Structures are given as C-alpha cells and as structure tokens.
Amino acid sequence: MPIKEVGGINTALPDAATQLEIYRRMTLIAQNDEASRKVIRTGRLLMPYYSPRGQEAIPSAISVNLNKDDTICTIYRGIHDMLAKGVPLNDLWAELAGRSNGTCKGKGGPMHITHPASGAMLTTGIVGSSMPIANGLAWAAKMDGSRRVSIAYFGDGASNIGAFHESLNLASIWKLPVIFVCQNNLFAEHTRYEKATSVDRISKRAIGYAMPGVTVNGNDPFEIYAAAHEAITRARSGEGPTLIEALTFRFHGHVFGDADKYIPKEEKDAAIAKDPVPIFRAKLIADGIATEAELTDMEAKIDTEIEAAIAYALASPLPDPADLLDDVYAVRGAVA
Amino acid sequence: MTKMSMIQALNEGIAESMASDPKVVVLGEDVGDNEEGGIVGVTRGLSTRFGENRVWSTPISEQAIMGAAIGAAISGYKPVAEIMLMNFTAVCMDMIFNHAAKLRYMSGGQTSVPLVVRMMTGSGIASGGQHSDFLETWFAHSPGLKVVAPSNPADAKGLMLSAIADPDPVIFIECTRLYGMQGEVPDSIEPIPIGKAQVARAGTDVTIVSHSEIVNRALKAAEALEAEGISAEVVDLRSISPWDKEAVCASARKTGRLLVAHEAVRNFGPGAEIAATVQEELFGQLKAPVRRLAAPFTPVPFSKVLETHHLVQVEDVIDAARSLAKEG
C-alpha cells in the first residue's frame, strides 16, 4: 500500500461552519489548558497534569467527522481529545477536582476521564492500552452491523509498545472500523523520537499491517480533516482500519512540573512560533469565515464557561468515604 | 441426568449461554471449528452452530484478545475469551489487571466489563515450568475480578452459566487433568452462585478445604482415612474469589481442625488467605493451628519423578490430615 504524504492536496474540505467549529474546539482546548496550568500554579487545585497545548488541531479536526455514538479511547495526555469529543466542562472539571459529581464520581481523576454519553469510552494511564480496547469497541460495532467507528489516540512512544503491533494486526485481519491516530509530538516522556523509534515515519509501519498509513501536518486542520474524513469513510463502509500519524509538538513538557531541559530551547521556540491556534484564527479571518469581533466574542464566552466550570468544581461536594467500596463490582461488597 | 466429560460440560455451559443471550460471543486462539474447536475441544461445534459472527479465532495475540474482549464488553457484549494457558495471562496482565478489573471503579460505574476469561492449567502432564502454574492468587488479589475453579463436570457447567451471566469480569480456571473426568450433570442445571462452596463429603474429625482437581485427591484421601477411623470433611470451594467464608468457618468450627490443600505453591497461596481469615474468626475455638498443604516454592519441574514430587498427591493429603487429626 503506498504511503501518502498529504500536503496541499485536500480530498475533503470542511465547509465554513465546520471550520468555525474546528476553531471553537481548538481554542476551547487551548484556553482550558491555560486555565488548568494557572489553577495548579496558584494552588487552587492539585492534580497531575499532562498538557496538550500545541496538539489542539488534531482531535478538533478529527472529531467534527464523528457522531455522538462513535467512540474514542485516549491516554493520559487526552484532555484535548475529551473536550473535542464533547465531554462537558463542568463534569470534566469536577472530576479533575476529585468531586463526587465528576464524570467518574472522583474515582478516576484526570488519567481516567470517561463519558459514554459523548462516546468518550476510555482514558488510560498505560501507554498503548487505548488501542486494544478501541479495537474491541470497533469489533462490537462490526458485530452489531452498525456504521459506528472508534478512534484510538496514542503518542509516538506508544508506537513502540507491543499493544500497538498486536492491535494493528488484529484490526487489519478482522477489518475493524477503527482509526489509529498517532499524535507524534517527537518526545516519548523525555526521550527523543529518533532515539526510540526504528522508522522515520510511524505511518510506514502501516505497510507491515496491510492498512493505509498517512503522515499529516498535525498543525494543519485541513490536512487532518481530509485524512480523517477518508479514514472514517473507509471504516464506515467496512473497508477496515487506517493509521494516521499527525506531526505535532507539546509546548509544556511531559507533565506539569517538568522543566523539560531535554528539549533544546530553539526547537521549542520554533514549535511555539508555529502554534496552530492563532495561525488558524488568522486564516479564518483572512478567508472571511469569521470576523475578529465574532472570534473575540466566542473566546470570551469560552473563558466564562471555563471559569464557571472551575468554580462549579471547587464548590462541588467531595466524595463520602462511605462510598469507597462502591463500583468495585456491580453489587457493592460482592467480594468483601 | 447425563454422564459427560468436563469438556462436554464446559461446552454445554457456553452453548446454552450463547443460545439464550445473543450478546455472548467467544474469542481465542483456535476456538473456531475450522481450527478444531479449541486445543482440547471445549469450543467445538460453537462456530458451526452459532456462526462466525459469534465465534472468532484469533492470532496469537493475548493483549489484543483481551483488549477486544474488554472493548466489546464495554459496548454491551458478553465475551468469553480464552487465554489458552494460565501462564499466558502474564502476557496480557495489563489488560486484565489494569483495565478489565478496574474500569468499572475508575469510571465511577459508567462502564463495566462483563466478560469471562477461560484458561487451562495444571501440573502432571510434563508441560514444565511455563505451562502448569496455578496463579489464582494473582487474580484473587485484584479488586474487581472474580475467580472460579470447578472440580467436576456438573460444577463446570453450573459455574460457566453463572460466570457468563455475571456483570463482573470472571477468571475461569480449568484444570487440564480434569478435562477427561466423567460426571453426572443434571439435564436442567441451575447456575451455581459464585461464592458458594459445597461440602463434597461430610465428616467430623478434620476439615480439608480445597479447589479444582485437588478436591478429587482430598476425597480419595478421605476414603482412605475413613478406614483408619478418621472422619474427614471435604469442602470444595468452587469459587476462590469471593470464597465461602461462612461454609469454611462452619466446618472448621465443627471439626476444630482445618487443612487447606491446593495445587498452587505454598508461599502467599490461597491457603494463606484462608488460614489468616479462619484464625481471625475462630482463634481459641480450633484444636490445632490451620495447616496448609501445597506445592513447594519452585517452578513446576519437567522430569516425571520431580513433577510428581512437586504436585500434591493423595498420600500427601492423607499424611497431612492424619497428622492434623492427631494434633492438639
């Protein structure tokens, strides 16, 4: 199967309304990230935080192609994937704050955000484990005879773990309606891509698993949209999985508190200069899709929603220790 | 009542569940009829009867097998996954322990994983150190999982029905040495509640609690002890997690002497949990300390003489029970 470097040629273009929606999701993610780091820095909330800042375009441009009952599985750097899929801000923040009315009753936290109503079926803290389970969701969709698809989000580091290889192989032979989306931000924890990975483009591994593989510019919503549209169409029509590699960069290191000294400053500065959020914003205005005033208004509303969600979370009740034993089993105390 | 082998009983348990619930699906290596219906034939006939949309032969990919089962279970299916040998669960332990066991809890009850993982294991067939281990305590030590191990065909079918219907993930342990065992199975069998032991033989002088194939050795030992004037009660746990504390304590209270016999190695084995619990409940009421009979702390060796010495034998149970009967 030939490798397509998608650049400049779009087989599917998002219309004006969709472009605006992509931007809304991107700026929601970026603004939420800003608020998250501030909330930790000022001591309002303590939580492990894996910033997705820099990677906004990827889930935003993919998720506009998805229905509510399409599913996603992601990993600990997954808040952007969750927000793009439609997990409500209030429920998300209440979970980050460990409240009883969080998505997971405070029992999962940021590394396990789950919201089935929006198709957000899994966040896992284990690198690579989103893929075997996304396969299972796709397998169920196939057995149902439905046209649902599932997205497995993961990073460049995960492309070297066993679960990646087992999952791509199985998805290929069973023609599962799953799309493997590798958000390649060039660093796996503190280790550079080149030192850890045997191939220069992860999408080339698709050949080994007899599926289409494509590398896209993870900062370009149109490129991502086109690749996602094609992959999702393939999956819905029963033709099986696709591997999409989106090249991106994370602006704030591995985890909040990481001084990221292992990233050369020039490299980081160059990546930040290509920040996809303001670049796409400027493009929307230049293309006449939206005005400065409209976008400023949208962003102000988002800031208000985020602030309200944080306040809601911090005012929400903490779980009752008496609830500790709930949800281990279907029946409380089934194994005492 | 029909006499059948454990393989047949397991097969019927799965087939009946599939017939009554269209969401029950089977996956694993060689499970389809094109591949002979399983390495020992437990799934034989299922793909022919129910079709290949419900019985899926997989590659040798334990992580992928378990992940597929978990994802489908989250979506409302009831997968019966086979991991061929219990030792191979080590390959997919992340999926079983970090995911299947914990997703209900970590999601705050939003997603659940109603699957069964079937596996075979057991010493005595010269399979050596990586194909013979009883590892039930790994799974019993995992909040969110249930663990069962039938000792006879009727229980195999009854527990299979319960395990498949159970809303939680169940580890189903099949002992290789039991596959050929013949037993009477009621034609219309009720599911056996998970967590309920059975008194396999009533007695008054000493209690032997066991599970899986060692139960049969305990029963043979009890026969021999009878001739010596020692009346041994044999309690078949059937379920390791949850286990029937009430039944075991009731028996230990009655006889005053408890011997736990299991195939797993002694250190940190199921006997440790049972002994600790019973002495917590019945300290001062027992006539002797709780004793454990188990495999020595080594991998299962290959050479027949070593393997036989490693596995708990009927004579070992007799010796341990006789010795316990004389204590105190």
Task: Estimate the share of chain A in helix, then strand, then coil, as percent rounded to the nearest 5.
Answer: 45, 10, 40
How far apart (Å, rounded) are the C-alpha atoms in residues B26 and A264? 51
What is the per-residue pLDDT for B138? 98
Its pTM stands at: 0.97
Q: Where are the beta strands (DSSP E) in A56-102?
A: 71-75
Query: A4 pLDDT exceeds 70?
Result: no
CA nearest to B64, candidates B94, B101, B30, B106: B94
Catalytic annotation, residues of B? 62, 131
Which tokens is B252 given?
């230990």
How far apart (Å, rounded) are the C-alpha atoms in residues B294 and B312? 6
Give the Å distances, CA to CA, from B105 to A28, A104, A333, B174, B277: 29, 8, 13, 28, 26
- Asked if B212 and B134 count as a contact pair (C-beta separation under 8 A), the reply is yes
Q: Hey, is the C-beta of B105 within 8 angstroms of any chain A C-beta?
A: yes
Query: A312 pLDDT exceeds 80?
Result: yes
Residue A169 burial class via C-beta count within 10 angstroms: exposed 0-12, middle 13-18, buried 19 and up: middle
User: Per-residue confidence at A253, pLDDT binned at 50, 70, 90?
Assistant: confident
How far apart (Å, rounded) are the C-alpha atoms in residues A91 and A263? 34
Query: A163 pLDDT exceeds 80?
Result: yes
What is the per-residue pLDDT for B279? 96
Closest partner residue to A170 among B58, B72, B95, by Cβ? B58
- Asked if A241 and A172 count as a contact pair (C-beta separation under 8 A), the reply is yes
What is the per-residue pLDDT for A73? 98
Q: Hey, is the C-beta of B51 within 8 angstroms of any chain A C-beta?
A: no
The residues, ordered by sequence, that sit 6+ positions from B29 with a Cβ below 8 Å of its Cβ are B35, B39, B57, B58, B59, B60, B65, B82, B84
User: Per-residue confidence at A86, pLDDT binned at 50, 70, 90?
Assistant: very high
What is the per-residue pLDDT for A261? 86
- Residue entry with tokens 């992940």: B67
Closest partner residue to A167 among B67, B103, B167, by Cβ? B67
Residue A115 carries which DSSP code?
B
How far apart (Å, rounded) are the C-alpha atoms in residues A329 and B145? 8
Strand partners, B79: B25
Which tokens is A329 given?
């089993």
CA nearest to A80, candidates A19, A123, A125, A18: A123
What is the per-residue pLDDT for A259? 80
pLDDT digits (tens, 9 = 90+) for B58-116: 999 999 999 999 999 999 999 999 999 999 999 999 999 999 999 999 999 999 999 99
Which tokens is B307 given?
């393997």
Closest partner residue to B63 among A106, A143, A162, by Cβ? A162
CA nearest to B85, candidates B63, B62, B107, B69: B62
A210: three-class secondary structure by DSSP: coil
- Asked if B152 and B8 count as a contact pair (C-beta separation under 8 A), the reply is no
Spell out which residues of chain A touch residue B70, defining contact as CB-CB under 8 Å.
132-133, 136
Q: Hey, is the C-beta of B22 within 8 angstroms of any chain A C-beta?
A: no
The Cα of B213 is separated from the nearest Cα of chain A by a number of Å equal to 24
Closest partner residue to B64 among A116, A121, A135, by Cβ? A135
Query: A3 pLDDT exceeds 50?
Result: no
CB contact under 8 A, B95 and A129: yes
Run means of pLDDT, 10 residues per run, chain B, 328 residues? 98 98 98 96 98 98 98 98 98 98 98 98 96 98 98 98 98 98 96 98 98 98 98 98 98 98 98 98 97 98 97 98 94
Q: Which pairing describes strands B116-121 and B78-85: parallel, antiparallel, or unpaired?
A: parallel
User: Per-residue confidence at A8, pLDDT binned at 50, 70, 90?
Assistant: very low
Please report, as a single letter, which amino acid is at residue B112. Answer: S
CB contact under 8 A, B106 and A114: yes
What is the per-residue pLDDT for B191? 96
Q: Say how many Å lie between the first and final Cα of chain A, rounded.
A: 54
Query: A21 pLDDT exceeds 50?
Result: yes
Query: A5 pLDDT exceeds 90?
Result: no
Which tokens is A226 given?
């086109």
The residues, ordered by sequence, that sit 6+ positions from A99 with a Cβ below 8 Å of its Cβ are A106, A313, A316, A317, A318, A319
Query: A187 pLDDT exceeds 50?
Result: yes
Spell out which residues of chain B touch residue A124, defining contact as CB-CB under 8 Å.
98-99
Testing the interface with B: which of A133, A175, A176, A325 to mutate, by most B Cβ within 10 A?
Answer: A133
Average pLDDT over every residue of A307-321:
98
What is the per-residue pLDDT for A9? 47
What is the per-residue pLDDT for A98? 97
- Which DSSP helix (H) or strand (E) runs through A42? none
